[in-house]
Amino acid sequence: MITGLATRAQVKIEGTVQGVGFRPFVFRLARELDLTGWIVNGADGVMIEVEGAAEAVGRLIERLRTSFPPGAKVERISVRSVPAVGDREFMIQPSCEEGAKQLAISPDLATCADCVMELLDRTDRRFRYPWLSCTQCGPRFSMVTGVPYDRADTTMSRFVLCEACRAEYEAPENRRFHAESTACPTCGPRLVLWGAGGQLSAEGEEALERTCRIIRAGGIVAVKGIGGFHLWVDATSEEAVQRLRVRKRRPHKPFAVMFPSLEAIRMYCALAPEEAEWLTSSEAPIVILQRLKEISLVQGVAPGSATMGAMLPYTPLHHLLMSELEAPVVATSGNLCDEPIVTDEQEARRQLAGIADAFLIHDRPIARPMDDSVVRMAKSGPIVLRRARGLVPRTIRLPESIVRHIQGPVLAVGGHLKNTVALLDADRVLLSQHLGDLSTLETEYAVRQAIDDLQWLLQVKPCAVACDLHPDYRSTRLAEELAGRWDVPLIRVPHHHAHVAACMAEHGVTGEVLGIAWDGSGYGTDGSLWGGEFLLATYRESERLAHLHPFRLPGGKQAGREPWRAAFAVRWEKFGAQGCRAGVEERTEWKEQEKLVVAMLARQIQSPVTTSMGRLFDAVASMLGLCQVASFEGQAAMALEQEGIRASASVPGEDDAYPIPLDSRAEAPRQWIADWRPMIKLIADDLNRGIERSRIAYRFHRSLADLIGRAAERVGVRQVVLTGGCFQNVLLADLARARLESAGFVALTHREIPPNDGGLALGQAVVAAIQLGRRERVSPLKG
Ligand SMILES: [Zn+2]
Ligand SMILES: [Zn+2]
Ligand SMILES: [Zn+2]
């Protein structure tokens, strides 16, 4: 035991110090010098705390400055003294985000270079073993079943380490020292191939060979990975890809493609250095890339799309399969539409029956579904569109100035689409992985599991529950149930306020912001469907300063899937009944549905009022003939963005913005209406004049960026938040940012937290925690 005379120092080492045996090196040194404390990998290096006799602490720091393992590249060492805490020994802590020491569970890590080398080394005892991993790589969060993080509390507990593995596990100098996921052919999981009906077809190497044969022959194989099943199919065979589309009932939504290497990706896509960096990172997400026109994969992979989601192998099994196949494969989540990814082989057999021709499985259970993360690069940096494997469970730190106002832990249940849940405790928020659309029991089950996960990860019980304002969301009903059961307050947070707060929290912003929250739709404080909102917001409250000119959506929800309805609706607003169908091929007969839509608009029935920016995108995409009926969310907006990008590449900056005046009304002089009707008239004119539709699409984006700029100038608040699903659109985000920055504003866009409803829970949690702080004091229930 260390006495009161102990000195404790915190040492931060930046540079290339991970994956080079740095931690075992420090471990040996500390033990040699009789020091206690810990070392942990952080975001940009390693963090060490050592405690013991002052002289020994000084010697350790001296040694760190002068000698370190070969391969390590130390760029900076900073030392500060901290109060002694009386650790009993020196420990290597599992990798985690810097500053989140209590939460010692790392996201899943892509296979490291050392392990790939062993995988391909004939002399290595793990040669071609699909589950090799080490302290630098392998499954983490997807296999954890309890805390603290050790093997007994993972899904690897059933695999008892063999003598050779145990020796590595216990040797501080070894790369597998305390590698909880470690395994070898003697003691670890095994590979099995099932036929379509679940019958055993092959094992081990033969299972691999046969899998490749099936894929080469155009078959579909369900492959069990780190966080769930993928469906694999040859991406160079139109026939195979179409078969997958038909069987999965997914006619258009782009598929992600796994490539054997960066070089292979470069053959098909434009690749910036930052994109390559993401692809090869330990997070190894899907990165949305611009396709090259000259050489393209089969159309069926991403029909009509100028972009494509690409990824690299991130498990040893992927490496083995890809080195054998030497060709790109579609690797899409094994699930039914918008449900959580399937994790269990029996479940896979049931759910993917009729889709997969074979199942490549193993006996390491997956503790929780973990989809691939999706990242897209904007000019100002990355935007995470889907946050899951590789990124969760990293926490979001809240700024000091707001932590003071927070009372007790808050659980937030998110929205309806792309659901995630979040738990806020003290100065941090843990946002769950992407779970899916909450329209099925499977997603609801996953959401309940994620809520349990968050509680044991942070070791707290919520003293309030936050949800959306929408009374009919399944998430709202779940929140009502939980608040009732736990006997804690329920706080309903307006949808767009939550979006703005999520972006503020991600950037640690305090004070007032102008929040531009644009999305498909969210329940507004007046009970109508909002979606083109300008809010003056703090974490505590928001005020609606401006919104889009409202319009009616004939058919309600159906209008969200059929952009032509939105086009009818906006033309109705501008031209009335006569001009409603303008531009639709004049000679054709009126369709029954069109007559019905006009009748709905005329009589104002089944046509809820909305200010949705998402539907305005739909309307313009339909007017331009890009998409009349969408088979997946955001299809029309994506098409419009891609047209715009095409024009911006050819004639950047040449087109003027269409006018979208910001008017005030007599009855609400403090609230402005962004009137898009003059723009609709000009777009119709441009179409009549035969202006290229990509030019029109670009001008449309410019107009929205200009609208944002004018609104910011009028409001005069320096920080402007750009949030909501519409800001997945990088053309819009980039143009808006440029416009704002040129006028001296600070533009805040999402980075690690999705701008879409996948980020809502974070905003809900923060808003509720702050509002709760205003109410009576509620003591957190620890335990
Ligand atoms: Zn490794
Ligand atoms: Zn072993
Ligand atoms: Zn939303």
What pLDDT, in 10s, does the model give residues 49-86? 999 999 999 999 998 888 776 546 677 889 999 999 88
Which amino acid makes up residue 720? V
Ligand 3 centroid–CA 260 distance in Å is 36
- What is the pTM for the complete model shown? 0.88
Q: Which ligand is nearest to the CA of 612?
A: 3
Q: Burial code of 266-294, b = ≥16 C-beta within 10 A, e = fewer? A: eebbebeeebbebbebbbbbbbbbbbeee
Ligand 1 centroid–CA 334 distance in Å is 26
Beta bridge partners of 195: 358
What lies within 8 Å, CB to CB, of 578 at 6+ separation is none
Which residues does the chain have with pLDDT short of 70? 1-4, 15-21, 42-44, 69-73, 94-104, 148-149, 294-296, 585-587, 651-655, 775-783
HSE (side-chain half, CA atoms, 13 Å) at 742: 11
Ligand 2 centroid–CA 187 distance in Å is 4
Ligand 3 centroid–CA 701 distance in Å is 20
Ligand 3 centroid–CA 495 distance in Å is 6
At 150 the pLDDT is 76
Q: Which ligand is nearest to the CA of 634?
A: 3
At 170 the pLDDT is 86
Structure tokens at 548: 């889009």
CA distance 384 to 202: 39
CA distance 367 to 245: 29
Ligand 2 centroid–CA 158 distance in Å is 13
Ligand 3 centroid–CA 415 distance in Å is 8
The crossing angle, in degrees rounded to 10, of helices 677-688 and 563-579 is 90
At 587 the pLDDT is 59
Question: How many C-beta atoms surround the C-beta of residue 535 within 10 A?
Answer: 25
By the CB criterion, residues less than 5 angstroms from ion ligand 3 are 519, 522, 757
Q: Which ligand is nearest to the CA of 728?
A: 3
What lies within 8 Å, CB to CB, of 152 at 6+ separation is none
Ligand 2 centroid–CA 224 distance in Å is 21
Structure tokens at 340: 């959580």
- The order of strands in the sheet holding 374-378 is 200-203, 191-195, 358-362, 221-224, 229-234, 329-333, 256-258, 307-311, 286-290, 374-378, 381-386
The CA-based diameter of the chain, rounded to the nearest angstrom, is: 92
Place of tokens 């009502």: 480
Ligand 3 centroid–CA 761 distance in Å is 11
At 345 the pLDDT is 92
CA distance 774 to 192: 57
pLDDT tens per residue across span 419-436: 999 999 988 899 999 999
Q: What is the 3-state secondary structure (H, E, C) of 167-224?
A: HHHHCCCCCCCCCCCCCCCCCCCCEEEEECCCCEEEEHHHHHHHHHHHHHCCCCEEEE
Structure tokens at 258: 């796994």
At 680 the pLDDT is 97
Beta bridge partners of 747: 720
CA distance 376 to 756: 13
Q: Which ligand is nearest to the CA of 759?
A: 3
Ligand 3 centroid–CA 720 distance in Å is 18
The three-state secondary structure class of 604 is coil
Q: Which ligand is nearest to the CA of 176?
A: 1
Q: Which ligand is nearest to the CA of 187?
A: 2
At 781 the pLDDT is 43
Ligand 3 centroid–CA 764 distance in Å is 12
Measure the CA angle with vertex 419, ends 417 and 423; round to 5°.
Answer: 150
Q: Which ligand is nearest to the CA of 113?
A: 1
Ligand 3 centroid–CA 746 distance in Å is 22
Ligand 1 centroid–CA 77 distance in Å is 26
CB 528, CB 608: distance < 8 Å:
yes
At 104 the pLDDT is 53
Ligand 2 centroid–CA 124 distance in Å is 13
Quick one: DSSP state of residue 108? P
CA distance 310 to 287: 5
Beta bridge partners of 308: 289
At 336 the pLDDT is 76
Ligand 3 centroid–CA 552 distance in Å is 19
Strand (E) positions, 469-605? 490-493, 513-523, 529-537, 542-548, 551-552
At 72 the pLDDT is 60
What lies within 8 Å, CB to CB, of 100 at 6+ separation is 394, 395, 428
Which amino acid makes up residue 645? I
Ligand 2 centroid–CA 125 distance in Å is 9
Q: What share of the chain is helix, strand, coil (3-state, %, to 5)?
A: 35, 25, 40
Cis geometry, peptide bond prior to residue 148 (ω within 30 degrees of 0): yes
